[in-house]
């Protein structure tokens, strides 16, 4: 009887015999995306790995900056929402009047 073999990372073919009947069972296995990435990275040369590392570092930094910026915006909006000085109630009518008066110049 042939041995079980994996045809790719998601499918395994398992032969077995019940009484006199030989069967091939195809088993679908789930591979995590990170496992697939690691398998592919394992085939790269050192130069290619260093290039990938640089790209990954850049990607991490861009995501970190976006998260940091978003946190700052949320903090600013929360500060505005908590402001009870009356500044916005006093200033908004002036801004609205100026916009309505000069809307063509915008």
pLDDT digits (tens, 9 = 90+) for 20-61: 655 555 555 666 888 888 888 999 999 999 999 999 988 888
Do 28 and 64 lie in a common domain? Answer: no
Do 55 and 93 lie in a common domain? Answer: yes
Q: Domain of residue 17: give its range.
A: 1-32
Segment 9-23 mean pLDDT = 59
Do 19 and 54 lie in a common domain? Answer: no
pLDDT the model gives residue 45: 92
pLDDT the model gives residue 12: 60
Do 19 and 56 lie in a common domain? Answer: no
In contact, 13 and 25? CB cutoff 8 Å:
yes
The residues near 20 (Cβ < 8 Å, ≥ 6 apart) are none
What dihedral angle (degrees, nearest 10) is formed by the CA atoms of 28, 2, 43, 57? 20
Do 66 and 94 lie in a common domain? Answer: yes
3-state secondary structure of 7: strand
Going by C-alpha positions, the residue among 40, 62, 41 that lies closest to residue 50 is 41
How far apart CA 15 and CA 4 sit, in angstroms, is 6
Res. 91: pLDDT tops 70: yes
Do 25 and 52 lie in a common domain? Answer: no
- Say how many domains are in the chain: 2
How much is the pTM?
0.36
Do 97 and 73 lie in a common domain? Answer: yes
For 97, the token pair is 């009047």
Res. 70: pLDDT tops 90: no
How far apart CA 101 and CA 106 sit, in angstroms, is 11
């Amino acid at each position: 009887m042939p041995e079980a073999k994996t045809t790719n990372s998601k499918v395994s073919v398992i032969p077995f015999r019940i009484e006199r009947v030989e069967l091939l069972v195809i088993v679908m296995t789930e591979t995590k995306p990170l496992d697939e990435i690691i398998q592919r990275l394992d085939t790269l040369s050192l130069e290619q790995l260093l290039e990938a590392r640089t790209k990954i570092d850049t990607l991490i930094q861009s995501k970190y900056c976006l998260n940091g910026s978003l946190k700052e915006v949320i903090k600013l909006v929360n500060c505005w929402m908590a402001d009870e000085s009356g500044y916005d109630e006093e200033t908004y009518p002036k801004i609205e009047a100026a916009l309505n008066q000069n809307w063509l110049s915008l």
